[in-house]
Amino acid sequence: MNVEVDLKKCQDHGQCVYAAPDLFALDNEGRLSLRSEAADVYVAEVDEGSAEELYEAAEVCPLQAITVHE
Ligand code: SF4
């Protein structure tokens, strides 16, 4: 499965970090750590074992910035 995070929508609220600490983190400046200068969208493969966490993160994100692809 894949996760897609729209980094233009994301406002670094951090709810995803609480819901899925193995998948999301904030950096020292309080910004989502998977941000990069190069891309507006972050895409990564996620292990099936983390599916529950991932769906929880997608659900709690107040900006619906997280999309899960099976
Ligand atoms: S919960 Fe959503 S808006 Fe907040 S940091 Fe995570 S992806 Fe960004």
At residue 67 the predicted structure's pLDDT band, cuts being 50, 70 and 90, is very high
Hey, which of 9, 60, 63 would you mutate to test ligand 1's pocket, going by the most ligand atoms within 8 Å of its Cβ? 63
Confidence (pTM):
0.94
pLDDT in tens, 5-63: 999 999 998 999 999 999 999 999 999 999 888 899 999 999 999 999 999 999 999 99
Pocket of ligand 1 (CB under 6 A): 5, 10-16, 24, 32, 61, 63, 65-66
Total of domains in the chain = 1
- Range(s) of the domain holding residue 65: 2-69
CB 65 within 8 A of CB 4: no
**CATH code at position 33:** 3.30.70.20
Quote the pLDDT of residue 37: 81
